[in-house]
Structure 1
Amino acid sequence: MGIRLSMIRKLRKAHARKRTSVAQRGRGDDGHDAIESTRERILSSAARLFAENGFEGSSMPAIAKASGITAGAIYKHFKSKGELLLEVVKRSFESTPLFMQNSAGATTTALPRLASAYTEPELKLVRQLSIEVHSAASRDSDVRRLLALSDEAAMQYISDAIALAQREGKLDPKLKPEFAARLFCVFVMGLLHMDTLLPGLIGDKSWRDFVRERVAKLIGVG
């Protein structure tokens, strides 16, 4: 599917939310949609501030101010900063190429493309949030639990794809699906640090192609 398609989907969703919000203000409905609009603003502001300042450096009053609401009003939507981070984390994971591919079914040929997508400029926020999640997980048990579940789901998805390819005779039957899945995730975790380690290679086509080729070799595709 690729990063461009995912960005198009995001833009379409944002446009649809904007049109819906405008229409509903004109209808004067019961306020439910206004609440959803406020929640979206909170989540968007929180994601940006968590990525820029970290979990500890982002206060609820600061997130509320960035969302255009009062400090007290933010607690009508989220009981705590930890709960807010959990929702931001959930949304960030669901927006990644790997999870967006889930509905299309597991295919080993898609994995190299998915990994290389993390080298694109458009995924900067996802990379930043993913790093912050791992940092916050060392201090917050709820975040740690969500991260463990997300990692387990990702590795199971990849392992199932590899096992299926083996049954179809497309991959080496001696390859251990669980090990290959874990190695793939470790590889992706390294790419999440590109903004710090390799900022000059973000968006570089040659680097993206190299990553894709290496991951293909890693799991024996092609």
Structure 2
Amino acid sequence: MKEEPVRDRLLSEATRLFAERGFEGTSVQEIVVAAGVTKGAMYHYFTSKDDLLHEIYGRVLRMQMARLTRIADGPGTLAERLHAAAADVVETSTANLDDSKIFFRSMHLLAPETQKSVRAERRRYHERFRDMVAQGQLEGTFSDRVPAELVVDYFFGSVHHLGTWFHANGTLTGAQVGKHFADLLLASLGSGHTGQ
């Protein structure tokens, strides 16, 4: 445990404790004891318990944004890239399900300015994803019967709901669920593409 960087240890223990006891039911003292550090060490990396919760979700969102950017700017047809992006967000969400569940369960407890910042970060991801749909509609690759914004809101409503039913030991893996979700998205846009 001591070899793990202090910041990572704090995040790891905070995630575990928030999952077990809830955000409100976990004290800063319990987090620092579990991480084997002092409060001073914690406050060197995080300004508050709010800051820890924000970072738990923020690190997943930053990773997903970097992956989306690579996929969106990468090779392949637009349909292939949208399919890959849709499958990826599901797979990475299921791989980091505790982080997302903790965050969505506790987000309302964050300070208003922190909530605003998080919504803006998530919005940037959704907009980049939406731009791929809108581009396909403009080019005639995808049906434009439903506005791109609504298509994306519907898709991400399903993604954000994963925490209520997905289980790592269930019958489908995160990758399999991701492929099915991506197939459904492309089918709803009138594209016959399905990922291989």
Give the TM-score of the pair, scaled to structure 2. Answer: 0.75
Cα deviation, residue 180, structure 1:
0.9
The equivalent residue for 1:147 is 118
Q: 1:183 aligns with which of 149, 154, 178?
A: 154
The equivalent residue for 1:200 is 170
Query: Aligned-pair RMSD on alpha carbons?
Result: 3.1
The equivalent residue for 1:138 is 108
- Quick one: which amino acid aligns to residue 57 of structure 1? G
Give me the whole-angstrom Cα distance separating, in 2, the residues matched to 1:99 and 1:53.
31
- Quick one: which amino acid aligns to residue 78 of structure 1? F
Give me the whole-angstrom Cα distance separating, in 1, the residues matched to 2:18 and 2:158.
24
Give the 3 Å change call, closer, same or farther, for CA 206–182 of structure 1 in structure 2: closer
- Quick one: which amino acid aligns to residue 57 of structure 2? V
The equivalent residue for 1:100 is 67
> Is residue 81 of structure 1 aligned with residue 49 of structure 2?
yes
- Larger RCO, structure (CA 8 Å, separation 6 or more): 2
Number of residue pairs aligned between Structure 1 and Structure 2: 185
- What are the equivalent positions in structure 2 for 1:1-222 lying under 5 Å apart? 37-96=5-64, 99-105=66-72, 107-117=78-88, 123-124=93-94, 126-140=96-110, 141-195=112-166, 200-203=170-173, 207=177, 209-222=179-192
Cα deviation, residue 202, structure 1:
4.3
| SS of equivalent to 2:23 | coil
Q: Structure 1: where are the runs of 5+ without partners?
A: 1-17, 22-36
Q: Structure 2: where are the runs of 5+ without partners?
A: none
Cα deviation, residue 39, structure 1:
1.9
Give the TM-score of the pair, scaled to structure 1. Answer: 0.67
Percent of residue pairs bearing the same amino acid type: 24
Cα deviation, residue 182, structure 1:
1.0
Cα deviation, residue 125, structure 1:
5.8
8 Å CA contact retained: 2:143, 2:189: no
User: Structure 1 segments of 4 or more deviating over 6 A?
Assistant: none
8 Å CA contact retained: 1:92, 1:126: yes
- Quick one: which amino acid aligns to residue 67 of structure 2? M
Give the 3 Å change call, closer, same or farther, for CA 205–155 of structure 1 in structure 2: closer
Cα deviation, residue 114, structure 1:
4.1
Give the 3 Å change call, closer, same or farther, for CA 52–219 of structure 1 in structure 2: farther
- Quick one: which amino acid aligns to residue 80 of structure 2? T
Give the 3 Å change call, closer, same or farther, for CA 105–111 of structure 1 in structure 2: closer
